Amino acid sequence: MNTVLITGANRGIGLEFASQYAADGWQVVACCRQPQQATALSQLADQYKNHLSIYPLDVRNLTEIDQLSQKLHHLSIDILINNAGIYPSAQNGEFGHINYDDWMEAFKVNTLAPFKMAEALVEQIARSQLKTIATITSKMGSVSDNQRGGSYIYRSSKAAVNMVGKSLAIDLQPRGIISVLLHPGWVQTDMGGCGALIPAKQSVSGMRKVLNSITHADTGKFIAYDGQSIPW
């Protein structure tokens, strides 16, 4: 049985990943900050008692990430999905109105945490069958795709994690680990808003299709949910 670990699994894209993988018989390790408030995730755990377990994890707390690794020292993790992310208030991310505390927070969650997750869980990943690290990023982190400017906080944190993912692909290649960056599309979640283009189910189904087809030749690539390559 394959195992997937998902951060930010309490809602949106993370919850949909947990639901789809559990339904397909995977062992799902679902992580979120406040499990006691994660009603939908708890219901999912009740539905898939033998396949889904919930662990408390605040990815901003690097010590908690190390502690999680210790708890899961016995596991083999086929796919690590770095999904947890934040999009600070848009009005705090524009030129002349930057909230620098929000900027630091975004880097903690969107950039530092995915790297720390890979670092802390590398042994569990390396001994698995699929050996994959998938980081959910955004086309808003693409430098060449930026035609509108603004959104300094979110754009920069995602551009930075793109570089993290690319470097992981190079540094972990000798251990047989694949690292890919995935653009989920503009998804109808709390973060994406009601004006978003696609539902979470479509986005996650697409990203899972990508993950099912990747090979070592794809490590370090930036790929959209529909399989299209995204320019850096």
pLDDT in tens, the chain (232 residues): 999 999 999 999 999 999 999 999 999 999 999 999 999 999 999 999 999 999 999 999 999 999 999 999 999 999 999 999 999 876 777 888 899 999 999 999 999 999 999 999 999 999 999 999 999 999 999 999 899 999 999 999 999 999 999 999 999 999 999 999 999 998 766 555 556 678 899 999 999 999 999 999 999 999 999 999 999 9
229 within some domain: no
Note the pLDDT of residue 60.
97
Q: Let me know if residue 130 belongs to a domain.
A: yes
Give Cβ neighbours of residue 23 (< 8 Å, ≥ 6 apart).
48
Residue 171 CA neighbour count, 13 Å, CB half: 11
Q: Does residue 136 form part of some domain?
A: yes
Q: Is residue 80 part of a domain?
A: yes
pTM over 0.75: yes
Does residue 41 lie in a domain region? Answer: yes
Buried-state track 89-113, b at ≥16 Cβ within 10 A, e below 16: eeebbeeeeeeeebbebbbbbbbbb
Question: Quick check: is 230 in a domain?
Answer: no
pLDDT on residue 187: 74
Q: How far is CA 36 from CA 16, 39, 47, 149, 188, in A?
A: 19, 7, 17, 39, 24
* Count of domains observed in the chain: 1
CATH number at residue 109: 3.40.50.720
Residue 199 lies in a domain: yes
Q: Is residue 167 part of a domain?
A: yes
3-state secondary structure of 222: strand
pLDDT at 186: 81
What domain range is 190 assigned to? 3-224
